[in-house]
């Protein structure tokens, strides 16, 4: 199976109509040069699409920032979806079969692919593809697109300049990674930024960005490089800004550990449906790491200077609020920034 990656033209261009690479400059998305992608290529090339889903024989759904929408044109059977899932995961260097029915990979260019085979996926094999933004967006770009107003933009720039440790929260697809990348890109060009992620998604417009990605064990159960080890390795790399990517479980311990080492200007992201839910969400994640509520509260208040929450309002990603964590009777709370 081919493993080379090529830059492909945007849909609708003259080069695209001839099947040739585009010759004019402009945002482009990298895709693997493999025929397995043909059923999905149209959607993967669309610069407005953020996610592509294949839900077994129920077909393809795409998200352009307004939620998942069903699309017409391809109604696969289970054998086709399964073969596609195996091929897409193989392009990321991992294996998918009945013994390993779930896998998550990242292709070159930052595209993330997750697949679950039937019968673990009860109604047929499913594929989820997360597509990075075609453009590298700055804070000015996000302000222009309505993510926040001028006053909030000034607050965000001040937090970066003052090297405040940040936690960006929000629901899936709300723009956490996009905002965090823009914030880090606004850091001084002399800063050495080290990012640690389970699957590397952060792409920064910054001259000194070191990316570390966790590695899962091989089929023999060897070779794993977990986040906790990468945090220790990163601390030896003299980072000016230490960033632990998305926390979905006990890795919140690594995030708090990293930001409690005396480093300033660090950051991370956490899923939360609203600002009011952030303390409970952090407590729940801390419990997975063996921390009690009081331990989480002390660690968070010590490590995090500001929480920036993002949400999706009528199809537009917006900063919903900026708060700071506080202790309330030994438990974690939040209050608005002064």
| Residue 27 pLDDT level (bands cut at 50, 70, 90) | low
CA distance 279 to 293: 10
| pLDDT at 136 (0 to 100) | 81
CA-CA distance, 124 to 159, in Å (whole number)? 46
Q: Does domain 139-336 have CATH number 3.40.50.300?
A: yes
More confident residue, 214 or 52: 52
Give the pLDDT of residue 152: 96
The two most distant CA atoms of the chain are separated, in Å, by 67
- For the segment 64-89, the average pLDDT, to the nearest whole number, is 88
Question: Is residue 250 within 8 Å of residue 293, measured between CB atoms?
Answer: no
Return the minimum-mean-pLDDT range out of 91-100, 161-170, 220-229, 271-280.
Answer: 220-229
Say yes or no: domain 5-130 is CATH 3.30.450.370: yes
- The pTM of the full predicted model, rounded to 2 decimals, is 0.78
Q: For residue 25, what pLDDT is reported?
A: 43
10 falls in which pLDDT band (50, 70, 90)?
Answer: very low
Three-state DSSP at 176 gives helix
pLDDT for position 93: 84
Q: What is the mean pLDDT of the chain?
A: 85
pLDDT in the model for residue 253: 86
What pLDDT sits at residue 23? 38
Domains of the chain by residue range? 5-130, 139-336
Please, which pLDDT band fits residue 1 given cuts at 50, 70 and 90?
Answer: very low
* Amino acid 7: pLDDT: 34
- Span 25-44, average pLDDT: 79
Closest CA to 70 of 82, 53, 47: 53
Is pLDDT of 71 > 60?
A: yes
- What is the average per-residue pLDDT within 150-168? 96
* Closest-CA residue to 254 (of 265, 263, 245): 245
* Predicted local distance difference test score (pLDDT) of residue 309: 96
Q: What is the dihedral of CA 142, 23, 130, 171, to 10 degrees?
A: 10
Helix orientation angle between 227-235 and 252-259, rounded to the nearest 10 degrees: 10
Mean pLDDT of 286-309: 93
pLDDT in tens, 173-221: 888 989 999 999 999 999 999 999 887 788 899 999 999 988 877 777 7
């Amino acid at each position: 199976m081919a493993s080379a990656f090529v830059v492909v033209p945007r849909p609708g261009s003259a080069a695209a109509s001839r099947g040739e690479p585009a010759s004019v400059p402009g945002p482009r998305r990298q895709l693997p040069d493999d025929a397995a992608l043909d059923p999905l290529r149209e959607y993967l090339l669309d610069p407005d699409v953020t996610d592509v889903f294949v839900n077994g024989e129920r077909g393809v759904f795409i998200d352009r920032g307004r939620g998942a929408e069903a699309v017409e044109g391809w109604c696969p059977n289970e054998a086709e979806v399964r073969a596609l899932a195996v091929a897409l995961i193989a392009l990321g260097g991992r294996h998918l079969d009945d013994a390993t029915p779930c896998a998550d990979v990242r292709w070159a260019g930052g595209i993330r692919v997750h697949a679950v085979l039937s019968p673990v996926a009860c109604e047929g094999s499913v594929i989820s593809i997360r597509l990075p933004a075609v453009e590298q967006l700055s804070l000015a770009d996000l302000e222009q697109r309505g993510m926040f107003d001028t006053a909030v933009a000034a607050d965000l720039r001040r937090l970066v300049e003052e090297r405040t440790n940040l936690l960006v929260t929000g629901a899936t697809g709300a723009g956490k990674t996009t905002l965090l990348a823009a914030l880090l890109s606004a850091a001084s060009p002399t800063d050495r930024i080290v990012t640690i992620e389970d699957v590397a998604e952060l792409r920064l417009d910054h001259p000194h960005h070191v990316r570390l990605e966790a590695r899962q064990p091989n089929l023999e159960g060897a070779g794993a490089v977990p986040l906790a080890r990468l945090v220790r390795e990163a601390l030896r790399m003299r980072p000016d800004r230490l960033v632990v990517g998305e926390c979905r479980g006990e890795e919140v311990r690594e995030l708090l550990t990293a930001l409690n080492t005396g480093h300033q200007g660090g950051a991370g992201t956490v899923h939360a449906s609203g600002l009011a839910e952030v303390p409970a969400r952090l407590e729940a994640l801390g419990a997975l790491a063996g921390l009690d509520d009081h331990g989480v509260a002390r660690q968070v208040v010590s490590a995090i200077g500001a929480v920036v929450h993002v949400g999706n309002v009528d199809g537009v990603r917006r900063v919903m609020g900026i708060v700071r964590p506080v202790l309330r009777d030994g438990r974690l709370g939040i209050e608005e920034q002064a």
